[in-house]
A = this chain, B = another copy of it.
Amino acid sequence: MGANTFGTHFQVSTFGESHGPAMGALIEGCPAGVFFSWDLIQKKMDRRKPGKFPWMSSRKEPDEVKLLSGVFEDRTLGTPLALIVKNKDFKSEDYESIKYNPRPGHADDVWKKKFRHIDHRGGGRASGRETVGRVLGGAVAEMFLKPLYNQLNIEAFPTQIGPFVREEAVFDVKQKWFGKQTEEVEEFLIQKKKEGLSYGGSIKLIVDNPPSGLGQPVFKKLKSDMAAAFMSIGASYEVSLGDTLSSKEGENSKKDINEQEGSKLHNKKNSMVYGGIRGGISTGEKIIFHIKFKPPSSVLDIAKKGRHDPCIVPRAAVVVEAMAWLVIADHVLWSRLDRLS
């Protein structure tokens, strides 16, 4: 299977270089009869769009999506869906100097060593713009799943941005993107961007009301595919299943286990939520992951004409969600093969 294809049954193949003609996704394995929602596509694309906030990359990405195949009279045909977005707003000449001077911290030099011939402009395929294809694929996965599981919901939101840790006990993605602290964080990022500083952070993913029975032992466990999905995103460096306390010693007793409600285990020292996955298979309970991201290596005074974010986390949330939709869609199909009848 190709390295630019994700999934076993519901598959998305992404393509496109940051400053090439277009980005896109080829979606294969989407069943026939799925209603294709342009609203959903647009909503997702808007969420990943840079330039929403003053501290974000100022690259304009109108990102008009074109559908080339796989849908007729608003329903999927069971054939591959090709979706593309033209690359419009970039100034490749800004990157000419980079051609001969790979940017520190970026992948330019490792790509060069591996493939010999690279597209240095804007990171080529290593650009964050590569995630356009993921978001398109995730949107189609959502279109497929929503009519089958109408209680299923997937949401990801930032819980840490540099020094800021989100305070709320219960997060609500519908409110401001970082809760009550939103304005404070935005001011901080505007200021720090000017200073040429970048920040890492953390995203929490919640899958509400997932179907049970998803995940295939022993190598395609749901937690394994989720981890692969999130660790394939550019700057991610840690994936953690469930909500755990840093002070936890991980001690279990008979009493703890007997008191366990679903995937939630109360024990002496703390309360752990294992995240709705047991034996690699979804239990039907809420699934939780935390994903951490490095600070971007592009900072203002290094590639000042290129457009970059001081923190990738706010825009990464929609990509994390897309990957989760793809994993769930893949395993919903796979689970159709579990039993004789």
Contacts and interface: CB of A to CB of B under 8 A. Distances in A.
Interface of A: 1-6, 8-9, 11, 13-17, 20-24, 26, 28-29, 31-34, 66-70, 72-73, 75-82, 84, 104-107, 110-111, 113-119, 121, 124-126, 130, 144, 147-148, 162-163, 192, 195-201, 212-213, 216-221, 223-232, 236-242, 244, 246, 248-254, 257-258, 260, 265, 274-275, 278-283, 292-297, 299, 301-302, 333-341
Copies of this protein in the complex: 4
A80 B221 CA distance: 15
Given A77-B124, A341-B148, A68 B232 contact: no
B281 A110 contact: yes
Contacts of A212: 110, 113-114
A78 B1 CA distance: 15
Contacts of A23: 69
A219 B3 contact: yes
B221 A231 contact: yes
Given A13-B13, A16-B68, A239-B239, 4 more contacts: A105-B265, A162-B250, A224-B229, A228-B231
12 contacts: A1-B1, A13-B28, A14-B80, A31-B338, A32-B338, A72-B124, A218-B232, A232-B280, A252-B297, A254-B301, A257-B302, A336-B337
B162 A278 contact: no
Given A69-B24, A338-B115, A221 B217 contact: no
Contacts of A340: 31-34, 144, 147-148
A29 B299 CA distance: 33
A333 B339 contact: no
Contact of A231 (B77, B227, B283): B227
Given A24-B69, A105-B260, A80 B299 contact: no
B16 A28 contact: no
Given A17-B72, A162-B249, A333-B337, A79 B125 contact: yes
A87 to B, nearest CB: 9
Contact of A15 (B2, B82, B275, B294): B82
A110 B295 contact: no
